[in-house]
Structure 1
Amino acid sequence: MQLIISGALPPQSLADETAIHLEKTATLLRRLFEYATPHNHPADQDLTGCTPYEAWLVQRYQFAPVADQAPCAALAPILVPDAPAAAPVWLFQLAHFGLSNSGAHMLTASDIAVTEKESQALYESAAEIFTDTPFTLIGNRPEGWLVAVPAGFSLPSRSPALIASADLAHVWPQEEDYKPLRRLLSELQIAWHHHPVNEARRDRQMPLINGGWLFGGATPAQLSAPATPMPIVIRDLEAAHRQRQWGQWLALLPAVEQKIAGELATALNPQASGNPVTLPVNLILTGDNRWVSLTLEPTPALLKWLPGKRKQWKQWWSQ
């Protein structure tokens, strides 16, 4: 059994404080941490172009990069598994761009709760704008808009989730080669300012959909199908972690722990033959620049007793 909790590892500066809180309010997590064998996996976002959770996902597909491709280039074909095997896959995901005291920032489609109906309406309105650019709209999917790019086009691919935690001044493509892309994004922002979708959002006091982010570039042929089913992914902490809302992050811990308890209880129930599940439990926690894999040896009494030797879990928690 394997579970992933994205956004579960706080930055080093908050590790001690959150560990104290976790010890008091998340008893199950603390016990799991105490008896698990940890393995730390660095994931430098400047090198991967994506979050540690996304870097783990790319590794799962055994991405084989070409030239200077970063792991982020593989996210688009992973999200669109039925794309043609030999063609590069590029995704355009809707977003909100705004200003704050800390500079320009972006909120992802998930952050602002973009609906399929809104995406389709904006897709239809964008078709004419795209015809006057080197880019071509080729499909609207729940994961984003599929886009064909001009021959030879290259972009330092970064995922929307990573961009949403950064100052746009440091990641926005400024080179001359990206001028057509910047012009496209500017025209979409102007065209959508009074679009009915955004007028309705204003009425509901929701962030406007005033742009999007393009990423991808790898082909499905560069991926290998995973040999095991996709693990259970718990993403409740992800947005609060990315937005540095640590009070909210702490408040969400009990609900996350409850989900973990439910999944473990289900996995450890006796099978139809009466034999308990004996597979190891693997818990993966992701943070800013790494993920930690925790392995618990199989035992039918895992939730109650967790037999074995206690480990100093705060050592890896604070790295």
Structure 2
Amino acid sequence: MQIVLPGALPDAAIASELASHMEKSAPRFTGWLGRAQAAVTSADPAETFCTPYEYWLLRHHGFEARAGQRASAGLAALLARETGAASELGEPLWLAQLVHVAPARDGAALIPASELAITPEESALLLEAAGDFLADSGFAITPFDTTHWRVGPPPEYRPACASPALVSITSVNDWWTQDAEGRPWRRLVNELQMLWFDHPVNQAREARGLRPVNSLWLYGGARPSQLGTPDAAGNGEPPRVLRGLQGPALVQDWGSWLQELERLEHEEFAALPDMPRLVLTGRDRIVELSPGRKGFLARLLAPRKQDWRRWCSGHD
């Protein structure tokens, strides 16, 4: 079994202080950490253009970026694989996610489709309304699923795009580049934002207390053929992803984070007879843990009990 815990690596500034509280809240879990063999991987979003969890997922599926591509380029192809959507293996796959963009203290904030409750009818009506603007834009757009549209960009258009998930936890301004290459897409998005401002779909959504769907976020660009065979670390069983630590970690609410860790200890970890393989992610790192060696050499070769505190706090 393999368990993935996004947000399980606390920020370096607080990790040492949290360690003793972690041992009290989750003794079984921290016991696993103390006996495990750890492999630490850098996952700086400034380099990958995606969240550390997304980067791990791409690695898990054997994605190989090509020259000039960021890791995030594989996310559209990965979504197609996970949903079983039809896609040409040898053709780049670009997707635009339907999102909400709103003013924020540090520029603009993106609310991803997963938080918008978009219906198939709303998606279809917004795409229909965009038809006149698409004709002269250089972009071909067709439905992909309820919350995504497939994008055919102009020839030689290959921007590096951050994932919607990463943008949603940072700032649109950090990733909305103003270079000349991106001008055609920016122009199209600006036109659609004005078109959708008072569209009946959004008027109806606001009447129901929902945020309007007022923008698109482009990402992807890799070919589905760049994905490999999923890693078999879980003996063929798909990894279990437990996301409860992610929210508190993002807002640095470490009290709630410890409460969630304690809940996981009692409701998830306590029932397991043996340590599973674990994947922990933080802001810019991934730690993959496998059970320590067994046998007569175990005590000799086992990591020191406190080693987990070092890699947990980024001192690896």
TM-score (norm 1): 0.82
Q: Deviations over 1:39-85 (max 9, x none)?
A: 21111212211111111122123223322011111111111124111
**Corresponding letter in the other structure for 2:218:** L
Counterpart of 2:150 (choices 143, 146, 152) is 146
Indicate how the Cα distance of structure 1 residues 113 and 247 shifts in structure 2: closer, same or farther if over 3 A, else same. farther
Counterpart of 1:261 (choices 269, 278, 299) is 269
Indicate how the Cα distance of structure 1 residues 152 and 245 shifts in structure 2: closer, same or farther if over 3 A, else same. farther
Indicate how the Cα distance of structure 1 residues 309 and 152 shifts in structure 2: closer, same or farther if over 3 A, else same. closer
Indicate how the Cα distance of structure 1 residues 259 and 135 shifts in structure 2: closer, same or farther if over 3 A, else same. farther
**What residue ranges of structure 1 are gaps of 5+ in the alignment?**
269-277, 300-307
Q: Offset of 1:132 from its aligned partner?
A: 3.3
1:281–1:298: 8 Å Cα contact kept in structure 2? no
* Match of residue 43 from structure 2: 43
Distance 1:9 1:49 in 2: 19
Indicate how the Cα distance of structure 1 residues 309 and 9 shifts in structure 2: closer, same or farther if over 3 A, else same. closer
Q: Offset of 1:207 from its aligned partner?
A: 3.1
1:92–1:214: 8 Å Cα contact kept in structure 2? yes
SS at match of 2:182: helix
**Corresponding letter in the other structure for 2:209:** Q
* Match of residue 127 from structure 2: 123
Counterpart of 2:305 (choices 292, 298, 311) is 311
Indicate how the Cα distance of structure 1 residues 206 and 8 shifts in structure 2: closer, same or farther if over 3 A, else same. farther
Q: Offset of 1:196 from its aligned partner?
A: 3.6
SS at match of 2:156: coil
Q: Offset of 1:122 from its aligned partner?
A: 2.9
2:206–2:212: 8 Å Cα contact kept in structure 1? yes
Q: Deviations over 1:284-314 (max 9, x none)?
A: 0111111111112599xxxxxxxx8762121
Distance 1:188 1:97 in 2: 12
1:104 and 2:134 correspond: no
* Match of residue 304 from structure 1: none
Indicate how the Cα distance of structure 1 residues 50 and 187 shifts in structure 2: closer, same or farther if over 3 A, else same. same
Matches within 5 A, 1:1-319: 1-81=1-81, 82-142=86-146, 144-226=148-230, 228=232, 229=236, 230-246=238-254, 248-258=256-266, 260-261=268-269, 265=272, 268=273, 281-297=276-292, 311-312=305-306, 313-319=308-314
Distance 1:182 1:102 in 2: 20
Indicate how the Cα distance of structure 1 residues 206 and 20 shifts in structure 2: closer, same or farther if over 3 A, else same. farther
Aligned length: 298
Indicate how the Cα distance of structure 1 residues 314 and 148 shifts in structure 2: closer, same or farther if over 3 A, else same. same
Indicate how the Cα distance of structure 1 residues 109 and 259 shifts in structure 2: closer, same or farther if over 3 A, else same. farther
Indicate how the Cα distance of structure 1 residues 255 and 223 shifts in structure 2: closer, same or farther if over 3 A, else same. same
Q: Offset of 1:115 from its aligned partner?
A: 4.5
The alignment yields a C-alpha RMSD, in angstroms, of 2.7
Q: Deviations over 1:156-211 (max 9, x none)?
A: 12111111222332321201221111111112222222234433432343433221
**Corresponding letter in the other structure for 2:173:** A
Distance 1:77 1:198 in 2: 29
Distance 1:208 1:60 in 2: 35
After the TM superposition, which of the residue ranges 208-217 and 83-92 deviates more from structure 2? 208-217
Q: Deviations over 1:68-124 (max 9, x none)?
A: 011111111111124111110001112221222233221222244445454344334
* Match of residue 274 from structure 1: none
SS at match of 1:62: coil
* Match of residue 299 from structure 2: none
**Corresponding letter in the other structure for 2:207:** D
**What residue ranges of structure 2 are gaps of 5+ in the alignment?**
295-301
TM-score (norm 2): 0.83
1:120–1:140: 8 Å Cα contact kept in structure 2? no
What percent identity do the matched residue pairs reach? 36
